[in-house]
Amino acid sequence: MYIEVEKGVHLFVQDIDPGPGSKPIFFVHGWPLNHKMFQYQFNVLPQYGFRCISMDIRGNGQSDKPWGGYSYNRLADDLAVVLDALKLENIVLLGFSIGGAITIRYMSRYGGRHVAKLALVDAVSPAFVKSPNSPYGVPKEQATTLINQMYDNLPKFLDDVSLTFFNRNLGAATLNWFAELGRESASYALIKLLQEAAREDVTDDLSKINVPTAIFHGVHDQLIPFKSGELTNQKIKGSQLYPLYNSGHGLPIDQSHEFNKLLMQFAK
């Protein structure tokens, strides 16, 4: 289905509902991907009574690809419109990577409306770029280099990122699949999203989260270091940190079986 989030901009939403009484989990994907990255969750969780709803962030996957609107605030507003339109209540809101940052901003900006629990997965938090609030981020110069590589040769850039995304050898087919998901996005959307991540900081948003929160983070994450996950854990009152010891940044794929078990335990 498609939901209009502002005039002329429609987002693709997938809703896998196993039936009455199912518990809703709403998935927000990361960069440079789309909702298909959660296939190893969608294949399993509905069997255990979980309704899996996901959307493609604007510019990505099957959603519309406008030139503008890639700020964290606008993306949080998009999420709010979708949740309102679906009339969802008491959901588990799950955000992966930059999707984690978007869900954090949503929780702060909208007071956690519709949300009973929050799951952050390798979230871009507190910030992508190193700062006093986020000392484990990448240097600003490195972020600029990454953005410039997308301008110069996006296909090669996506292939290179795939090599650092996972912690184990998943084979050429999986790496090609990852890169192909990136190629379903508008190139300018990928650039703008990374530019936004490079300038944003969600530190002030973290203290406004007041629902049970689980932080799942790959210990070997090369993009958002595990120490950033530990820092996020410290800044969200009462949150629980779940280290995934054999995962890099792509833990829903690196350790899908372990992650699914932990997520279902948290979501029930």
Q: What pLDDT digit, counting tens, does each position of 13-42 carry?
A: 999 999 999 999 999 999 999 999 999 999
Q: pLDDT class for 168, splitting at 50, 70, 90?
A: confident
For the cut 90, the answer to whether the pLDDT of residue 150 exceeds it is yes
| Stretch 205-217: mean pLDDT | 98
Q: What pLDDT digit, counting tens, does each position of 114-126 carry?
A: 999 999 999 999 9
Marked catalytic residue, from 64, 201, 205, 221: 221
User: What is the predicted pLDDT for the residue at 261?
Assistant: 98
Count Cα neighbours of 52 within 13 Å in the Cβ-side half-sphere: 20
Residue 56 known to be catalytic: no
User: What is the predicted pLDDT for the residue at 147?
Assistant: 96
Torsion of the alpha carbons at 93, 80, 98 and 13, rounded to the nearest 10: 80
Q: Single out the residue of 224, 225, 236 nearest to residue 118, CA to CA.
A: 236
Whole-angstrom distance, CA of residue 125 vs CA of residue 118: 14
For the cut 90, the answer to whether the pLDDT of residue 225 exceeds it is yes
User: What is the predicted pLDDT for the residue at 182?
Assistant: 97
Contact 137, 131 (CB under 8 A): yes
Q: What percent of the chain has pLDDT over 90?
A: 98
To the nearest 10 degrees (0 to 180), the angle between helices 140-165 and 187-199 is 120
Marked catalytic residue, from 54, 63, 97, 228: 97
Marked catalytic residue, from 29, 35, 114, 249: 249
Q: Are strands 9-16 and 50-55 parallel, antiparallel or unpaired?
A: antiparallel
Residue 221 known to be catalytic: yes
For the cut 90, the answer to whether the pLDDT of residue 80 exceeds it is yes
Q: pLDDT class for 170, splitting at 50, 70, 90?
A: confident
Residue 220 known to be catalytic: no
For the cut 90, the answer to whether the pLDDT of residue 89 exceeds it is yes
Per the structure, the count of domains in the chain is 1
| Stretch 205-233: mean pLDDT | 97
Torsion of the alpha carbons at 232, 96, 16 and 172, rounded to the nearest 10: -140
In the three-class reduction of DSSP (H, G, I as helix; E, B as strand; rest coil), residue 229 is classed as helix
For the cut 90, the answer to whether the pLDDT of residue 103 exceeds it is yes
Residue with tokens 């419109």: 81
Q: What percent of the chain has pLDDT over 70?
A: 100
Whole-angstrom distance, CA of residue 268 vs CA of residue 101: 24
| Stretch 214-241: mean pLDDT | 97
User: What is the predicted pLDDT for the residue at 169?
Assistant: 79
- For the chain, what is the mean pLDDT? 97
The parent domain of residue 232 ranges over 2-267
CATH number, position 18? 3.40.50.1820
For the cut 90, the answer to whether the pLDDT of residue 205 exceeds it is yes
